[in-house]
Amino acid sequence: MLSRPFLVLFGAVLVASMGISMVSPILPVYAEDLGATGIWIGLTFSVFAITQTLVSPFAGRWSDRYGRKPFIIIGLLCYFIAAFGYLTADSFLQVLAFRAFSGCGTSLIFAVGQAYIGDIVPRGHEGRVFGVFSVADITGFGIGPVLSGILRDVFGFDSVFVGMAALMGSSALLVFLLLPPTRSEQRGAVDNAGSAIAGMAIALRHRVVVSVVFLMALTSLSYGSVFAFLAVFLEEMDVSATATGVAFGAQFVAGALAQPLLGRIADRVDRRYMLLAGLGGCAICLGGIGLAPNYPVVLALMLTLGVANASTYVAGAAIQIVAGRRAGMGTVIGLGAAGDGAGIIVGGVAAGAFAGWLGTQAAFFFGACALGTGVALLAWLLRPLAPSEVNASAPEEAALSAG
């Protein structure tokens, strides 16, 4: 597992996640200072997901055909450019534009990077490998908000964007110099005939792939609700920027600590039960945040949310890899990333609408209700699948079920 590609991507994703998450907590507040209100604040967080949703399926499919490494580097450079865009913005519309551009980077870094790891993970070890690998982005996302809060309190907003640019640039250099190309890149192209759209259409005929896309949308919906409005909610409690960063980071730190163990569990149990239990836990935590009377309660709920999200992630990632071996690794993960983007869009925009109508707390109640409904729908989608379609303990997986 601790091969050179694994270690290089682990380091690159850790640094990149720190850079990305540094700006996520402050963008809604930054946009509000520039005149954004209501839905516009929600869009400040979630607009990147529009481009992510559009680009991810094509990025995954193209990386199946032309290799992973070039797309990962381009994605890191997209965020490098966006950092300087935030730094020079003088209106919230410019912030929205660069946030949308950064969605291209999200598609390329995480979807294609996960596909690279999926290429090299041994069968039957999907959960434990991704349980360890995902510690990189969870830890990065946990450290980033804390670092952002400290920089903002000490040096001001601009220092956060400079820090983001430095982290993204160093991560791109790390990948360029040290990440070996995949075997397909060494050959020049993957033998994967057909257009990107045709390949995606074939993959979506399978119920397990549809389930993965829906799962990613549900998981990210909780992020859309929390990240778009948690900073605003805590500012209403007169919480400092550093304490706000700690609250954001708590979710990711808890997830990072729990993920390796949860990954091993995902290789031993029916992964469907882990998914449903994790999503249910997320729904309860979101509703609790909306009712939280003070900062310590919010912090405790964010820690619990991190563990619930980690349970969902490791099981879902393992199922993606099983499906990707049949329908194209990059294609399946790219479609999942598109679902992730769609969930962030719905979560951010709908939460913004409810917050503007009923107050900030309503954003979290919306997320809780939407996740609760989604758990029932996902259970229906997963129910007919054979255990071999979500667990890869056998040498060869069974064929995917048609929808």
Give the separation between CA 146 and CA 241, rounded to whole angstroms. Answer: 9
Whether the predicted pLDDT of 294 surpasses 60: yes
Percent of the chain with pLDDT over 90: 8
Output the six-digit token pair for 325. 């071996």
Nearest one of 63, 73, 89 to 168, comparing CA atoms: 73
CA count, 13 A, side-chain hemisphere, 396: 2
Mean predicted lDDT score pLDDT of the chain = 80
Higher pLDDT, 176 or 348: 176
pLDDT for residue 385 is more than 60: yes
- Rounded to an integer, what distance in angstroms lies between the CA atom of residue 13 and that of residue 79? 13
Note the pLDDT tens digit of each residue in 357-373. Answer: 888 888 888 888 888 88
User: Quick one: pLDDT band at residue 295, thresholds 50, 70, 90?
Assistant: very high
- Both tokens of residue 159? 């220092």
d(CA 221, CA 214): 11
Most confident of 192-196, 250-254, 295-299: 295-299
206: three-class secondary structure by DSSP:
strand
CA distance 148 to 347: 23
Q: Which CATH architecture does the domain made up of 4-177+196-389 adopt?
A: Up-down Bundle (1.20)
Map tokens 């935030």 to a residue: 86
Q: Which amino acid is at 320?
A: Q
- pLDDT tens for residues 389-398? 666 554 444 4
Q: What is the pLDDT of residue 186?
A: 47
pLDDT band at 38 (very low <50, low <70, confident <90, very high): low
CA distances from 329 to 113, 161, 336 (A): 11, 33, 11
pLDDT at 170 exceeding the cut of 70: yes
Q: Is it the case that residue 306 has pLDDT exceeding 80?
A: yes
Give the pLDDT band (50/70/90) at residue 355: confident
pLDDT at 190: 45
Confidence of residue 328 (pLDDT cuts 50, 70, 90): confident
pLDDT value at 237 more than 90: no
pLDDT of residue 396: 40
The domain spans of the chain are: 4-177+196-389
Mean pLDDT score, 155-182: 86
CA distance 352 to 225: 8
Say what the pLDDT of residue 351 is. 74
What is the per-residue pLDDT for 394?
41
pLDDT in tens, 46-61: 677 788 888 888 888 8
Confidence of residue 280 (pLDDT cuts 50, 70, 90): very high
* Alpha carbons within 13 A on the beta-carbon side of 332: 30
Range among 22-36, 142-156, 378-392 with highest mean pLDDT value: 142-156
Place of tokens 């690279």: 116
pLDDT value at residue 42: 65
Residue 77 has pLDDT above 80, yes or no: yes
Residue from 322, 234, 237, 224 nearest 282 by CA? 224
